[in-house]
A and B are shown apart, each in its own frame.
Chain A
Amino acid sequence: MENILIGFANVLQPMNLLICLGGLFVGVLFGALPGFSATMAVAIFVPFTYVMEPGAALLLLSALYCGGVYGGSIPAVLVGIPGTPASAPTAWEGKALVKKGEGGRALHLVTLASCFGGFWSSIALLVCAPLLAKIAKMVGQPEQMFVAIFGLSVVVMLAQDNLFKGCMVAFISLLLATFGQDPVEGFPRFTYGFSELTGGFSVVPVLIGLFSLPEVFKMLEDPFGKMTESGKVGSMKLRATDITNNIGNAIRSTIWGVVIGIIPAAGPDIAAFLCYNEAKKASKHPEEFGNGSPDGIVAAESGNNGVTGGSLIPLLTLGIPGSAPAAIFLGAMIIHGVRPGPTLFTQHADTVYTMIIGFALINLLMYFVGMFFCKCGSLILIIPKSILATVIVVLATVGTFATNKNMFDVWVMFAAGVIGYIMERNKFPTAPVALALLLGTTMEKSMSLTRTMYEGELHMVLTRPLALALLLLTVFSFAFPLIKIWRTNQKEKLRSND
């Protein structure tokens, strides 16, 4: 308790508050630019923290991390380009709401849900970190494999309207995910002599191309009509029902987010997709999903921000990073001589509690910083589409190049854009591509490791309780939408018989 109070006193020092605010501003900016991610924001600022006190340094990095994860959703709503893959579900709903002229409301929902998820995940970090760290120890390779398969079951839900096309896209994308070196021997597959393909397709360029360019092409279809028009921002005000209907949804998604954060191989992107899927299953109006559902935004946002606190739990207690930015945190903490592990909470109590209390405070401050960015950013909608289209192409190109500083990625991005446009015109869903690329590599890796572990007796995997539970959950998740379709069909049959 005393440590918590010391933490409060440290965080509330004016200099530290300024660091939190500055970190948030930069973090949100990084998240909002496509191609720049929370991971990059944290990585770039690590060297600047060398001269700072450990507590202040960790506050800055935390602010960058939280801001970066949140910031990706602003362009997702405004122009339909997810700043980071974790904002893809928000992009579908946000785009639809903007078309209805409710962009302001969508942005406010995003901000509120992000802060909710982030805040409660930091409370989880403060209150029950050692307890939750046990989960991290239970998750081995077989469990990671089942988490990935479970994640893929989302495809069935996302592509409910056209199951055949959805599954086909997912299968082909899973095949694309196997391009590049295999995870065990490093043998290059499907590289066709391009050394750039040795590492496989990077997810970010494909997603930027797939989600942003088709929008531009659609604008070009009608150069003289809609091109000269501009959108409306709409009021930032929320409806009372937005909050009352979504409390349960937000709490469930935050819990999912924290748990996904603890699991080493899964990050904010997977949490966003899974929470979106769970919300759709639980929703009374699943037909609204994809057409501007506030529930979908709340679920994805509280889920992906819930990861922030969750991923620090195994990091602080066991030194295991739960996500890519958490891995950079680990490096930074070691450089500052604050080594994670059980001794952290006794030897460096003041630093670590400053960080945890700061994490909660940062998520509260994020609401105000976020609303400020949303107000500035929403003016984008007033720009005529002819200008906006150019800006989107420039941003997509620069963002893709920035990820790896590699021209090859830019060509991949453009190719993905053209293919995405053809897919959309022929009513093929693009969402399964994102999921399959994000999960394919993890799945392959954990599958081959599981095979090494249980060579010749793979059925022994089922003796692991968590793996078995995940398997059952997956079966349920695959079957649920099918049963639902079947039942509505039955009902319709009965009705037509009457």
Chain B
Amino acid sequence: MKKKSLALLMAAAMVLGLAGCGAKEEAAAPAETPKTEAPAEKTEAPAAPAANADGFYAGKTVEMIVPWGAGGGADVACRLICAEMEKELGCTIVINNVTGGGGSIGLAQLAEANADGMTYAYFANTDSNGDIMLQGVPYNKDSFAPVCKFAADPHIILASNASGITDLKGLIDAGDGKTLWGIGGAWTHWDFLKLEFQDATGASYKRMVYDGGASVITDIMNGDCTVGTPFVSEALAAIDAGEAVAIAITSAERIDACPDIPTVAELGYEGFESTMWRGFVAPAGTPEDAMREFADAAGAVCAKAEFVAAAAEAGVTVDYTGFDDFQTFYAENHESVKAYFEANKDM
């Protein structure tokens, strides 16, 4: 009996001790959240002076599903814009990274979520065709209500030093169907960029599918892969190090982060533009007023010069499309991706 009570006392002491440690941490790093164990963290405490204090979202907590891993391109872009949108909406946005299945697991979770305007998800070019491209995906184009688009990131076409390719002409000459073209994920925008490029130039390349942009760049550096199309933020280190050759950028105009790299369009393929857009969707049936308020907040953030600059530094090119325009954009994009996929799925 005595032993037992002693043990209980010690257990209590331990709990207190741990609580003490917690207190110490907070003192040591006041900038950190005290809620270290919370599974889904807040991006920021609710902004005190809410810009839209009487809006639908004022004082509420919104869940943002990012179907990709924390720290990746999608996640960084979402965290950047959501931190600012919290101030606009006067609410808290909790980012929830639900990974796996090429983004389909997170989107399946959104499709099943309540359509009450409190759940959104990050969305990109090819996601609305998930049910056609990946078997076993429980959602389709109509499971989502498109909200807005906030960014469109160009790719840089890189060639390996070992290949001897130094310009667009060399790249097209090498397009004999055997040259390896690295893809950063099956049926992501990388694949569609390759198809669009082949359509425009008449060249053809052999598809080599990786599990992410970083692996493609590594293999271009060591010469195992010949061509790849990473995003700007991923590619610049390799270009600066002289470990890979930048051929062209896929946006319509040159961008500030790398003004020396020419666009595909200005090298003789006028009108060529292929960017990966990033946007938000809600579950189908979400009240339109709520979605409009959400989209408008994103628009207000995207209009701020300092946000655009901060995003550019993180490799995100801000390009906002509002609620109404995005409805048509979403439908058109769906059809175009679908057409490309159906024409090429037997590759």
| Chain A contacts to B: CB under 8 angstroms | 18-19, 21-23, 25-26, 29-30, 33, 36, 39-40, 42-48, 50-52, 60, 136-141, 180-181, 183-188, 191, 193, 195-196, 198-200, 202, 230, 264-265, 317-321, 324, 327-328, 330-332, 334-335, 337, 339-343, 372-373, 376, 379-380, 382-384, 387, 401-402, 404-406, 445, 449, 452-453
Q: Cβ of B264 < 8 Å from any Cβ of A?
A: no
**Considering the complex, which residues of chain B in the window 228-277 have a beta carbon less than 8 Å from any beta carbon of chain A?**
233-234, 236-238, 240-243
CB atoms of A383 and B133 under 8 A apart: no
Closest to A403 in B: B39
A contact residues around B2 at 8 Å (CB): none
CB atoms of A382 and B237 under 8 A apart: no
CB atoms of A445 and B211 under 8 A apart: yes
CB atoms of B17 and A376 under 8 A apart: yes
B contact residues around A406 at 8 Å (CB): 98, 105, 109
Query: What DSSP secondary structure best describes chain A's contact surface?
Result: helix
CB atoms of B240 and A40 under 8 A apart: no
- Contact A198/B134 with A180-B101, A318-B221 known, Cβ cut-off 8 Å: yes
CB atoms of B236 and A137 under 8 A apart: no
CB atoms of A319 and B29 under 8 A apart: no
CB atoms of A23 and B29 under 8 A apart: yes
Q: Cβ of B119 < 8 Å from any Cβ of A?
A: no
CB atoms of A195 and B221 under 8 A apart: no
A contact residues around B218 at 8 Å (CB): 136-137, 139-140, 264, 320
How many angstroms between the C-alpha atoms of A227 and B13 in the bound complex? 22
Tell me the smallest distance from the CB of A377 to a CB of chain B, in Å: 8
- Contact A453/B39 with A48-B31, A321-B214, A404-B99 known, Cβ cut-off 8 Å: no
Interface string of B1-16 (1 = CB under 8 A from A): 0001001001101100
Tell me the smallest distance from the CB of A326 to a CB of chain B, in Å: 10
Tell me the smallest distance from the CB of B250 to a CB of chain A, in Å: 20
Closest to A180 in B: B101
Tell me the smallest distance from the CB of B230 to a CB of chain A, in Å: 10
Tell me the smallest distance from the CB of B85 to a CB of chain A, in Å: 13
CB atoms of A337 and B208 under 8 A apart: no
CB atoms of A376 and B18 under 8 A apart: yes
| Interchain Cβ contacts under 8 Å between A and B, 29 examples | A25-B28, A26-B25, A29-B36, A43-B70, A47-B41, A136-B218, A140-B224, A181-B102, A183-B211, A184-B209, A185-B209, A187-B135, A196-B105, A199-B99, A199-B101, A320-B217, A320-B218, A324-B69, A330-B71, A331-B73, A331-B314, A339-B233, A339-B237, A342-B241, A342-B242, A380-B14, A452-B180, A452-B206, A452-B208
CB atoms of B13 and A379 under 8 A apart: yes
CB atoms of A21 and B237 under 8 A apart: no
Tell me the smallest distance from the CB of B60 to a CB of chain A, in Å: 20
Interface string of B73-94 (1 = CB under 8 A from A): 1011001100100000000000
Greatest chain B CB density within 10 A among A186, A327, A332, A401 is at: A186
How many angstroms between the C-alpha atoms of A453 and B216 in the bound complex? 13
Q: Cβ of B286 < 8 Å from any Cβ of A?
A: no
How many angstroms between the C-alpha atoms of A439 and B219 in the bound complex? 20
Closest to B32 in A: A48
Given A42, A331, A452, which contacts B75 in the complex, CB threshold below 8 Å? A331
**Considering the complex, which residues of chain B in the window 96-148 have a beta carbon less than 8 Å from any beta carbon of chain A?**
96-102, 104-105, 108-109, 133-138
- Contact A404/B238 with A44-B70, A195-B136 known, Cβ cut-off 8 Å: no
How many angstroms between the C-alpha atoms of A491 and B11 in the bound complex? 53
B contact residues around A141 at 8 Å (CB): 219, 224
Given B21, B76, B209, which contacts A376 in the complex, CB threshold below 8 Å? B21
Given B25, B208, B209, which contacts A25 in the complex, CB threshold below 8 Å? B25
How many angstroms between the C-alpha atoms of A342 and B240 in the bound complex? 7
* Chain B interfacial residues counted at CB < 8 A: 80
CB atoms of A47 and B224 under 8 A apart: no
How many angstroms between the C-alpha atoms of A382 and B4 in the bound complex? 10
CB atoms of A25 and B98 under 8 A apart: no
- Contact A47/B43 with A25-B21, A184-B186, A380-B14 known, Cβ cut-off 8 Å: yes
Q: Cβ of B313 < 8 Å from any Cβ of A?
A: yes
Given A199, A327, A328, A334, which contacts B314 in the complex, CB threshold below 8 Å? A334
Q: Cβ of B44 < 8 Å from any Cβ of A?
A: yes
B contact residues around A331 at 8 Å (CB): 71-73, 75-76, 314
| Chain B contacts to A: CB under 8 angstroms | 4, 7, 10-11, 13-14, 17-18, 21, 24-25, 28-29, 31-33, 36-37, 39-41, 43-44, 69-73, 75-76, 79-80, 83, 96-102, 104-105, 108-109, 133-138, 180, 186-187, 206, 208-211, 214-215, 217-219, 221-222, 224-225, 233-234, 236-238, 240-243, 310, 313-315
Given B41, B71, B224, which contacts A328 in the complex, CB threshold below 8 Å? B71
How many angstroms between the C-alpha atoms of A341 and B13 in the bound complex? 49
Tell me the smallest distance from the CB of B200 to a CB of chain A, in Å: 24
- Contact A264/B206 with A22-B25, A140-B219, A318-B221 known, Cβ cut-off 8 Å: no
10 A-B pairs closest in CB distance: A199-B100, A319-B237, A328-B71, A22-B29, A43-B70, A341-B237, A198-B101, A22-B28, A199-B101, A379-B14
CB atoms of A383 and B313 under 8 A apart: no
- Contact A198/B224 with A184-B186, A335-B314, A383-B11 known, Cβ cut-off 8 Å: no
- Contact A60/B134 with A331-B75, A340-B237 known, Cβ cut-off 8 Å: no
CB atoms of B32 and A198 under 8 A apart: no
- Contact A186/B32 with A140-B219, A318-B221 known, Cβ cut-off 8 Å: no
Tell me the smallest distance from the CB of A46 to a CB of chain B, in Å: 7
B contact residues around A51 at 8 Å (CB): 31
CB atoms of A48 and B33 under 8 A apart: yes
Tell me the smallest distance from the CB of A31 to a CB of chain B, in Å: 12
How many angstroms between the C-alpha atoms of A234 and B93 in the bound complex? 47
Tell me the smallest distance from the CB of B61 to a CB of chain A, in Å: 15
Closest to A342 in B: B241
CB atoms of B14 and A45 under 8 A apart: no
Tell me the smallest distance from the CB of B237 to a CB of chain A, in Å: 3
A contact residues around B138 at 8 Å (CB): 195
- Contact A405/B40 with A25-B24, A337-B313 known, Cβ cut-off 8 Å: yes
- Contact A186/B186 with A33-B37, A48-B33 known, Cβ cut-off 8 Å: yes
CB atoms of A21 and B28 under 8 A apart: yes
Tell me the smallest distance from the CB of B35 to a CB of chain A, in Å: 10
- Contact A318/B238 with A47-B79, A140-B222, A195-B108 known, Cβ cut-off 8 Å: yes
A contact residues around B40 at 8 Å (CB): 405
A contact residues around B234 at 8 Å (CB): 319
Additional pairs, 20, CB under 8 Å, beyond known A183-B209, A405-B40:
A18-B28, A29-B21, A30-B36, A42-B71, A44-B41, A46-B79, A47-B79, A137-B222, A140-B224, A187-B135, A195-B137, A199-B100, A199-B105, A264-B215, A320-B218, A334-B313, A341-B237, A376-B17, A376-B21, A382-B10
